[in-house]
Amino acid sequence: MAIIAISITAITTFLITLVVDHKITKSRNDKEIEKMKKELSEMINENSNQLLIKSNQLIDDKDEEINKLLYNIHNIEENLVLINNLNESKEGTSRSIEQSDDKLDDQSSIKDKGKGKETQVTSDTKETQVAPDTKEPKEPTEKKVEQPEQAKEPAEEQNTSKEPKEPKDVKEPKEPKEPKEPKEAKESSKEDAEVSEEPKQTLKDDSKGKEKEEREPLLNGV
């Protein structure tokens, strides 16, 4: 009986030691596991923080690059607008220059035409005025000078004094009517006016000649 009791006690002590060892090992393992978990969590947190920091840095860098690109795009758009404005201003200036050149050409052509007309008119007027101004006025002056001489001369010289009837032929200066040939209406109108004045002068000269002829016999009779 004593042997059985000793064996039972030995077995129970062995079992108790096993259970205690198991618990001790289990607690140790649990502690190690907790430590590992903590270490892992710390590592994960560190890595996550580093990753977040790196990702934020990358995002900031990319945002800066994007902002730079947007700024460059905005500058490019402004430059394009300025270029368009410059092109429009150049086109406007070129158009204005062309218009001014056209106006100057038109004015120069008009001036040239006006000068041509003036030269034609002046040449025509000179041709028409030379005959009446140079020939007609001289004859009446000669007659005025001859009148006192004729009053003193005998009757035979009166017949010779009657010869100045030639001014009747002065009607020939009507030929200046030919300048009507120019096509422009203004020149023809001016020439008509000048031609119309010439017959008046010839008629006046003829009337003066007739009056002088009528006076001469009276003076001779006296």
pLDDT digits (tens, 9 = 90+) for 165-192: 444 444 555 555 554 454 444 555 555 5
Q: Residue 138's closest CA among 200, 194, 205, 198?
A: 205
pLDDT at 96: 86
Average pLDDT on 111-127 reads 59
* Better pLDDT: 77 or 191: 77
DSSP-derived secondary structure letter, 181: -
Does residue 207 lie in a domain region? yes
How many angstroms separate the CA atoms of 145 and 139, rounded? 10
Q: Is residue 209 part of a domain?
A: yes
Q: Which of 68-72, 107-111, 194-198 has the highest mean pLDDT?
A: 68-72
Containing 216, the helix (H) or strand (E) segment is helix 185-221
**The predicted structure's pLDDT at residue 135:** 47
DSSP state of 222: -
- Which pLDDT tens digit goes with each residue over 5-14? 888 888 889 8
Contact yes or no for 150/219 (Cβ under 8 A): yes
Within-domain flag for 158? yes
**pLDDT value for 194:** 58
What does pLDDT average to over the chain? 71
Asked if the structure places residue 174 within a domain, the reply is yes
Is 205 within a domain? yes
Number of independent structural domains in the chain: 1
Domain that holds residue 148: 136-221
Does any domain span residue 183? yes
In a domain, 103, yes or no: no
pLDDT digits (tens, 9 = 90+) for 88-106: 888 888 888 888 888 888 7
pLDDT at 160 over 80: no
**What's the average model confidence in pLDDT over 19-39?**
91
Establish if 200 belongs to a structural domain. Answer: yes
pLDDT band at 144 (very low <50, low <70, confident <90, very high): very low
Q: Please enumerate, as own/partner, the contacts of 169-172 that have beta carbons within 8 Å and a separation of 24 or more.
A: 170/135, 170/136, 170/139, 170/202, 170/205, 170/206, 171/199, 171/202, 171/206
Query: pTM for the full model?
Result: 0.34
